[in-house]
Structure 1
Amino acid sequence: MTRPAFTNPYLTEGNYAPLTEEVSSSNLPVTGNLPRELNGRYLRIGPNPRGGIDPATHHWFNGAGMVHGIRLREGKAEWYRSRFIESEFGAPNTNVVTHGGRILTLIEAGKPPVEISPDLARMAVWDCEGALSRGFTAHPKIDPVTGDMHAITYNPRFSSIRYVVLDPDGRAKHSSDIDAVDGPMIHDMALTETRVVVLDLPVTHAAAKRLAQAGGPMTRLPLTWDDRHTARLGILPVGGTAEQVQWIEAPRCFVFHVLNAFDNPDGSLTVDVVRYDSMFVHDVWGPSDATPTLVRWTVNTARGTVNEELISQHRVEFPRIDPALTGRPHRYGWFAGFNAHGLMITDDVERNPADGFGTGPMIKVDTRTGDTKTHDYGPGRVTMEPAFVPRPDAVSEDDGWILSVVHDANINRAELVVLDAADITAAPIARVHLPNRVPFGFHGNWIDGNEID
């Protein structure tokens, strides 16, 4: 009997399947009323493989990046555009941010950013005059007071990671290499007002190499769970060097994303993260080995300990706060709820790795009380990562809007949906109807017209 050909869910199933063409559309239809204060662009990016892909080895994290942009102005949705990222050094597919007057598409593990123009028409590698030639990160953190951008970068060709700081104009002002055995995957970092937190956790290149040598399953992502690697946090001062790093053993887990971190009056740090018990053990094509859990780590640097507390029973990913509170005490977080077969997971359940990684409703969590609010977009409709946009002259932490791309499987198209951040249970304020679907990808951000126009 002939075995059926392997089907990779991250290439073929529903909204994971890549798009083949770039699209431009003007004067998008809107249901509801777009706030006139939303003057800028919502940009989202994700992998969009282009030919020559082997389903048996393809990993969701690979593939040329495609950026999707929606231009809002004066209560109207002026245009939607999707463009493949093109450059001589690869096509970043993980995040799109703005800094120093530039729109930058980002990827980790050795590639520099690619700058794109506001109309998405022009692209060029930007390595900060060589400072980022060794690569950058998917998740830099911008201090809202100093305007400095902080990043922990890694490159599998080197035995060290690099801590980089760019000033508000995008000039490199600090760099320090930090030894890191096994080549850990460091997707995110944490920043407080005074300290930087390095996440050195047990997903490594060394483990992937051992697996390959043993004849185990491999993909184009040379990273896997590492039973030999100690989970630890590196704590160093803002602008610090390798000699100042304090290593503290952490709970054995993996973290893709940090909600936020801040200093406590007693000298400890609070770090809120979305943690997984394991990663890339059984599912070698995507991140669906375990379900995500929102926890709070209290890091006592005097004792060298990490205490973990559960924040919410709800399974969530893609955490966001008001960016003005980065590194400062926060109360609220907004998330994409984590789904299996369209049902939000609130308890531990067994999942088939072939089900892939899925999201569902929008979730708002009060990290002080654990109170949770949910916005269900309806049958067959799931959200991607939220972005918080404050109202002008906001008077509270959640005084603003939540923007996210929502996939509607009923019509196989996407919408940009605007919710009231203070009351996400209310009906959407506005829905911008896009001309096509936006494949499930990774990260998106609102770029205010006062920053880039």
Structure 2
Amino acid sequence: MTGKNSIEGSINEHNPYLHRKLYSPIDQELDILDCEVLEGHVPNDFHGSYVRNGPNPQFEPKGRHHWYDGDGMLHAVYVEDGRVSYRNKYIQTEVFEREKAAGQTLWGGLFEDPKNNPADMPIRDTSWTDVIFHNSNLLTLYYGTGVPYKVDPKTLETIGKETFKGKLLDKVSAHAKVDEHTGEMLFFDYFTKPPYMTYGVVSADGELTTCVPINLPGARLPHDMAFTKHYSILMDLPLFHDEEALKNGRYKIKFYRDLPARFGIIPRHGTSDQLRWFEAKPCYIYHVVNSWEDGDEVVMVGCRMPEPIPDISHIKRSDWVRRMSAIRKLKAYMYYWRFNLKTGKVTEGPLDDMVSEFPVVNLSYAGRKSNYSYHVLYSPEEDVSFEGIAKYDISTGAKSEKYLFGKGRYGNEPAFAPRINSKTEDDGYVLTFVYDEIEDRSELLILDAQHFSLGPIARIKMPQRVPMGAHATWVQGDQL
């Protein structure tokens, strides 16, 4: 990270998301062909790429820095024939290019008034949140909604904004989904003015084929969606803008406990009048595990937050860094919902009482019946960090296995990599980046998914520190 003024003595002097090495940005973009194996061996029965997105500011921030303000940077490892290579690159968003040309930050972040940002782009959309694989390319997506960017999966070079053959009307949510069985991509967008949401489907060859408005009571803040073979599931959850504040141009989020959580089920290529709403207990959901059809029912499993806004009244308003960290801790639990399409009845309940988040599955099972998912476990410390991974098996009532990284070691969202010619859902490997604060070293861990709690079968040294990031994906080698 560079800039014209020193952070020392500034409002960000003690901001861990700029100074603690677990989070702090790096300057180099590297391309390393052969990484050192520290322990174990890299299996030669899987081939592909683990890619993780995350915020990495290129310049010193303008005003108070929120972790979500960083520029998008992809870190990728490529596994083939028992060898691992690594590269990382910034996502060349419009924000990144304009600030690079200016030599400094032009936008204030989430803590600052957007009225002071460039008038043509009040939101600092840096595409740092998620990364998916669709139509032979990576797509990077932004927290909330933003412009999707197309990236070459082998070189990580940014190709440009993705418009789906010129048909994209606005933006794309942070968590679009890809059905590997059809190649289609499903997404939503949301707004503070009518229409409050749109739902879309993109064909396997990258053309927007469905785009319909979704009727909501007002402005909402959905984060994720789900899909099955024939349906998509959209959300109207009771965590959203305070309407009076919004009318006055301010953003204040409230949890409305007297309102139900609503789930809209729409045929994949359906119209607005085919959408059916189902009501459940109030909550918020950042991340869905998976969804599928079971007779007359649509089943969804996700990480449910019964109290999405933590009590931070004991933290002084002036201590905005601690307040940010507290809010970013997602206290969520494995949970299921069953929506009966014939009777309209909803059955729901907990699957586990352990806090876990950032779930991933074998992507070839997304939208189909699955048993296994892999979640990060939050460390007890105040800053947001992940101390391990849990493997859930919902066929046995969400029984879980854990692997903890060890003292001073923190992980990232993992990805599941199937073995070549895999036979079962969990026949493969779980990959994640881990940073060791004691050794000041980042590693790639490879765990055998069928012997999960035994720990990594390989630890590979990364050629540079990989700061903690957001979401990740796995791309099969034959798709590269």
Q: TM-score range by the shorter chain?
A: 0.7 to 0.9
SS of equivalent to 2:183: coil
SS of equivalent to 1:285: helix
Superposition deviation, residue 21 in structure 1: 3.6
- Judged with a 3 Å threshold, the aligned counterparts in structure 2 of structure 1 residues 132 and 339 are, in CA distance, closer, same or farther, namely farther
1:41 corresponding residue in structure 2: 49
**Matched-pair identity in %:** 29
Does residue 273 (structure 1) correspond to residue 302 (structure 2)? The answer is yes
* 2:394 aligned partner, one-letter code: T
SS of equivalent to 1:407: strand
Q: Quick check: 1:10–1:285 contact (8 Å CA) kept in 2?
A: no
* 1:82 aligned partner, one-letter code: N
Q: Quick check: 1:184–1:200 contact (8 Å CA) kept in 2?
A: yes
Higher helix proportion (structure 1 or 2): 2
Cα-to-partner distance string for 1:405-428 (whole Å, 9 max, x where unaligned): 112121232211111011111231
CA distance in 1, matches of 2:310, 2:195: 23
Identify the match of residue 83 of structure 1 among 73, 86, 89: 89
* 1:195 aligned partner, one-letter code: Y
Q: Quick check: 1:103–1:115 contact (8 Å CA) kept in 2?
A: yes
* 1:47 aligned partner, one-letter code: P
- Judged with a 3 Å threshold, the aligned counterparts in structure 2 of structure 1 residues 226 and 313 are, in CA distance, closer, same or farther, namely closer
SS of equivalent to 2:285: strand
* 1:34 aligned partner, one-letter code: V
**Mean alpha-carbon deviation: is it higher for 275-284 or for 384-393?**
275-284
Cα-to-partner distance string for 1:88-115 (whole Å, 9 max, x where unaligned): 2643101112111112111254422111
CA distance in 1, matches of 2:193, 2:460: 43
Q: How do 1:435-446 residues align onto structure 2 when only pairs under 5 Å count?
A: 435-446=463-474
- Judged with a 3 Å threshold, the aligned counterparts in structure 2 of structure 1 residues 308 and 54 are, in CA distance, closer, same or farther, namely farther
Does residue 357 (structure 1) correspond to residue 396 (structure 2)? The answer is no
Q: How do 1:442-453 residues align onto structure 2 when only pairs under 5 Å count?
A: 442-452=470-480
Superposition deviation, residue 208 in structure 1: 7.9
- Judged with a 3 Å threshold, the aligned counterparts in structure 2 of structure 1 residues 416 and 157 are, in CA distance, closer, same or farther, namely farther
Does residue 18 (structure 1) correspond to residue 25 (structure 2)? The answer is yes
Cα-to-partner distance string for 1:273-315 (whole Å, 9 max, x where unaligned): 1011233565663544651111111223444443322112221
TM-score with structure 1 length normalisation? Answer: 0.86
- Between the two proteins, the alignment pairs up a number of residues equal to 427
Does residue 234 (structure 1) correspond to residue 264 (structure 2)? The answer is yes
1:97 corresponding residue in structure 2: 132
CA distance in 1, matches of 2:357, 2:187: 21
- Judged with a 3 Å threshold, the aligned counterparts in structure 2 of structure 1 residues 297 and 12 are, in CA distance, closer, same or farther, namely farther
- Judged with a 3 Å threshold, the aligned counterparts in structure 2 of structure 1 residues 229 and 251 are, in CA distance, closer, same or farther, namely closer
Identify the match of residue 394 of structure 1 among 422, 435, 440: 422
Q: How do 1:123-142 residues align onto structure 2 when only pairs under 5 Å count?
A: 123-142=159-178
CA distance in 2, matches of 1:143, 1:393: 19
Q: How do 1:423-434 residues align onto structure 2 when only pairs under 5 Å count?
A: 423-434=451-462
TM-score with structure 2 length normalisation? Answer: 0.82
2:104 corresponding residue in structure 1: none
2:409 corresponding residue in structure 1: 381
- Judged with a 3 Å threshold, the aligned counterparts in structure 2 of structure 1 residues 22 and 202 are, in CA distance, closer, same or farther, namely farther
Q: How do 1:26-425 residues align onto structure 2 when only pairs under 5 Å count?
A: 26-30=33-37, 31-53=39-61, 56=64, 58-78=65-85, 80-88=86-94, 90-117=125-152, 118-156=154-192, 159-204=195-240, 206-207=241-242, 210=245, 222=251, 224-227=253-256, 230-265=260-295, 267-280=296-309, 285=324, 287-288=327-328, 291-341=331-381, 355-369=382-396, 370-425=398-453
Superposition deviation, residue 55 in structure 1: 5.9
Which stretches in structure 1 are left out of the alignment for 5+ residues? 342-354
SS of equivalent to 2:69: coil
Q: C-alpha root-mean-square deviation of aligned residues, in Å?
A: 2.6
Superposition deviation, residue 169 in structure 1: 1.3
Which stretches in structure 2 are left out of the alignment for 5+ residues? 1-9, 96-124, 313-322
Superposition deviation, residue 364 in structure 1: 0.6
Q: Quick check: 1:43–1:68 contact (8 Å CA) kept in 2?
A: yes
Cα-to-partner distance string for 1:44-96 (whole Å, 9 max, x where unaligned): 1111223352564x433332111111122221123x22211112264310111
Cα-to-partner distance string for 1:21-51 (whole Å, 9 max, x where unaligned): 4334342101322122333322111112233
* 2:75 aligned partner, one-letter code: H
- Judged with a 3 Å threshold, the aligned counterparts in structure 2 of structure 1 residues 60 and 50 are, in CA distance, closer, same or farther, namely same
SS of equivalent to 2:454: coil
Superposition deviation, residue 160 in structure 1: 2.3
CA distance in 1, matches of 2:40, 2:445: 10
SS of equivalent to 1:424: helix
CA distance in 1, matches of 2:175, 2:219: 18
Q: Quick check: 1:95–1:106 contact (8 Å CA) kept in 2?
A: yes
- Judged with a 3 Å threshold, the aligned counterparts in structure 2 of structure 1 residues 282 and 134 are, in CA distance, closer, same or farther, namely farther
Q: Quick check: 2:220–2:237 contact (8 Å CA) kept in 1?
A: yes
Q: Quick check: 2:230–2:267 contact (8 Å CA) kept in 1?
A: yes
Cα-to-partner distance string for 1:159-179 (whole Å, 9 max, x where unaligned): 321111111111212111112
CA distance in 2, matches of 1:234, 1:368: 26
- Judged with a 3 Å threshold, the aligned counterparts in structure 2 of structure 1 residues 276 and 358 are, in CA distance, closer, same or farther, namely farther
CA distance in 1, matches of 2:209, 2:462: 41
Q: Quick check: 1:189–1:196 contact (8 Å CA) kept in 2?
A: yes
